[in-house]
């Protein structure tokens, strides 16, 4: 059952729902109970559904296939990850720049928008995400490129991410090592920065006041929604707890036990 924290904006009808993935749709390799049914119910009611993850270690195609394996059919244009966001950011702000990617599995996102990926310290930009194949040699190339003046882009700086049996170190652990060693501060593409939501708004023309962000972390998903003026729902199947939501400075509009409760939030908003 959902708990309403901020009722001031409940009267606005919800036309768009944006789901975080890790901790909301799935945890590790397992789908959350009711995820498929919740998405289908929203789509049946005419709600636009998008999927947005801070994970920058894979492509949109990878996440679309993963959602499909859980019975959720997601067109590529409605799946957003921060590797795609970083590529779009570079294409818009650094035309002609080359990139060294600390997660080579995502290079396709960059080449698809015309960015040439290189594997040496002469890169014009270093893009850092969650690299599960990280080596000291790769870290050294990134370090030297940054010392030479390369742009420093982080897909996200999450300290950890949820898996079936707990948590693992996130991209923030890699980003922090380079930031500390080079004394450089990165441009953050992912949550809680608003860039990814702005990208969805720009590419699909959605109305922020009619959108609901559903996530499991107050400091990323919920804070980003607040920066953008969107409604937000914290789901208690991931990182943040009910007590943190009720007592902390970042207050979601709703706190819900699971993704199963999202269609009810939308239906209740339509009645007001």
Region(s) of the chain under CATH 3.40.50.1000: 3-54+192-271, 94-188
Mention every residue, 6+ apart, whose C-beta is less than 8 A from residue 134: 102, 174
- How many angstroms from the chain centroid is the CA of residue 142? 23
- Which of 106, 89, 98 minimizes the C-alpha distance to 123? 98
20 is catalytic: yes
Q: Write out pLDDT tens, residues 75-107.
A: 999 999 999 999 999 999 999 999 999 987 899
Distance, in Å, from the CA atom of 99 to the CA atom of 216, rounded to the nearest integer, reads: 31
Is 22 in the active site?
Answer: yes
Average pLDDT for the chain:
92
Task: Yes or no: say if 107 and 80 are a contact pair by the CB < 8 Å rule.
Answer: no
> In this predicted model, what pLDDT tens digit does every residue of 17-51 receive, in sequence order?
999 998 899 988 899 999 999 999 999 999 999 99
Question: Among the residues of the chain, which ranges form H helices?
Answer: 35-44, 60-69, 82-93, 107-111, 136-147, 171-182, 195-204, 223-228, 242-247, 262-271
Q: How far apart are CA 61 and CA 253, in angstroms?
A: 31
Could you tell me which CATH class the domain 3-54+192-271 is placed in?
A: alpha beta
Kindly give, in sequence order, each residue whose CB lies less than 8 Å from that of residue 180, ignoring residues fewer than 6 positions away: none
Pair of tokens at residue 182: 């080079």
Residue in this structure with the two tokens 């902390």, named with its chain if needed: 248
State the pTM of this model.
0.90
Annotate 107-165 with DSSP letters as a single string. HHHHHTTTPEE--STT-SEEEE---TT--HHHHHHHHHHHHTT-EEEES---SEEEETT
Comparing 196 with 6, the larger pLDDT belongs to 196
For residue range 173-210, list pLDDT tens digits in order: 999 999 999 999 999 999 999 999 999 999 999 999 99
269/206 Cα distance (integer angstroms)? 17
CATH classification (class only), 94-188: alpha beta
């Amino acid at each position: 059952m959902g708990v309403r924290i901020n009722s001031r904006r409940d009267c606005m009808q919800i036309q768009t729902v944006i789901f975080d993935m890790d901790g909301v749709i799935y945890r590790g390799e397992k789908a959350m109970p009711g995820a498929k049914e919740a998405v289908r119910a929203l789509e049946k009611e005419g709600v636009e559904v998008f999927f947005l993850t801070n994970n920058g270690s894979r492509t949109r195609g990878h996440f679309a296939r993963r959602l499909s394996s859980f019975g959720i059919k997601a067109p590529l244009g409605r799946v957003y990850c921060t590797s795609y966001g970083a590529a779009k950011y570079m294409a818009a702000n650094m035309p002609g720049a080359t990139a060294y990617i600390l997660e080579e599995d995502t290079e396709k996102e960059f080449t698809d928008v015309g960015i040439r990926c290189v594997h040496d310290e002469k890169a014009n930009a270093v893009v850092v995400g969650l690299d599960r194949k990280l080596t000291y040699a790769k870290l050294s190339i990134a370090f030297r490129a940054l010392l030479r003046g390369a742009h420093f882009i982080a897909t996200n700086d999450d300290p950890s991410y949820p898996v079936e049996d707990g948590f693992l170190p996130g991209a923030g652990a890699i980003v922090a090592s380079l930031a500390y060693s080079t004394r450089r501060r990165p441009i953050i593409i992912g949550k809680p920065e608003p860039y990814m939501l702005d990208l969805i708004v720009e590419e699909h023309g959605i109305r922020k006041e009619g959108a609901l962000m559903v996530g499991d972390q107050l400091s990323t998903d919920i804070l980003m929604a607040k920066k953008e003026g969107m409604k937000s729902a914290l789901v208690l199947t991931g990182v943040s707890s009910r007590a943190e939501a009720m007592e902390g400075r970042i207050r979601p509009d709703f706190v819900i036990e699971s993704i199963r409760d999202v269609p009810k939030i939308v239906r209740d908003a339509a009645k007001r």
